[in-house]
Chains A and B, each alone.
Chain A
Amino acid sequence: MNHASIIDGVRLCKAQRYRYANSDMDDLETQLKKANENGARFKIIVTDGVFSMDGLVAPLDKICDLADRYDAMVMIDECHAAGFIGSKGIGTLEEKNVLGRIDIITGTLGKALGGAMGGYTTGKKEIIELLRQRSRPYLFSNSLAPAIVGASIKVFDMLAKDTSLRDKLQSNTNYFKTGMKKAGFDIIDGDSAIVPVMLYDAKLSQQMAERLLEEGIYVIGFFYPVVPKGKARIRVQLSAAHEKEHLDKAINAFIKVGKELNVV
């Protein structure tokens, strides 16, 4: 499932669209073959780096191999990865060892990288040059506000200096996941800072989120149509700003409310 902005962007262009099942490489290959049979001149594979509802990382290494074999470009959306996935925090392209093999990377300054607003596309120079000439949101929207630009420069300087923030985020994520698993919760064990606590039932996900808020823990329950039917969950997002005591309080609140609602 892609972000709404990718879906809208694709709707605006005249390209022929083929869809493949999430991270299913056999299906992707089938679709690439189909495109070739239909005489496609250029091809581009589009995926999220981290899928925001389950926190899983896309198999970019395999996607890049298929892209090479079928002469397709690769574009990734790094909104939920930039700044903290991978040992230097570059993102899923570092984690999956495909630095230099991704043709187009989009990302946001509105999440890990400062959180205000703004986004970017980075990649091959001809692509960026053409976007400056023809990309309508760039041509017809105001420049990013100077204060955001200045603060974002600072953010990239901080990330270049050391990896302490992403290291802390990773240790927070591991700590939380370990505690939740030990308590018997069914979590999706991905490689990102998103930890979905699976409840499967939509109503239960709402009840549990409400009760957790009463316990001082602010989380959101997601259910259909945001996630597939019968896959309702509470999505927990960790931060380098969290301290151990915050994580302990959250785990304890989950256990308390989870017992009340017969989840654990």
Chain B
Amino acid sequence: MYGKIKEYLQAELQQIKEEGLYKKERIIVSPQDAVIKISTGEEVINFCANNYLGLSSHPSVIQAAKDTLDTHGFGMSSVRFICGTQDIHKELEHKIAEFYGTEDTILYAAAFDANGGVFEPLLGRKMPLYQIH
């Protein structure tokens, strides 16, 4: 039952707002690009995307995504080790290794997962780690 916790969560949200830490989301109604259209209808020049190389809506990148939908489908409905590894997953892993001159690459659903999933498998109890703060 969604009981007492409702008031608790409302208070938490209120506190986030009072601390000035509440994150609102601005709605964009165009592709990500140098100029974007926001839901109020205005066009603004975007200087807060991580779209450093302008590839987020580059025609060649969009075309490659479309082509791959036709040749390799929409989703894999699987993790990698059951039935989720296609030839293109291996090809991309090799290309990234080639780009860096490293020996091998592993893909993740997000960089958050790459960082979040690297330490536990590699580091035993006695292995110290340096972290900047």
Contacts and interface: CB of A to CB of B under 8 A. Distances in A.
B74 A145 contact: yes
Interface string B75-103: 11111110011101101110111011111
A258 to B, nearest CB: 15
Nearest to A192: B52
B123 interface: yes
Given A134-B121, A150-B67, A120 B114 contact: yes
B10 interface: no
B8 to A, nearest CB: 23
B25 to A, nearest CB: 12
B108 to A, nearest CB: 5
A262 interface: no
Interface residues of A, number: 129
B131 A18 contact: yes
B81 A41 contact: no
B132 A22 contact: yes
B17 interface: no
B106 A150 contact: no
A138 to B, nearest CB: 6
A13 B120 contact: yes
A154 B63 CA distance: 9
Contact of B105 (A122, A159, A236): A122
Contacts of A242: 34, 45, 54
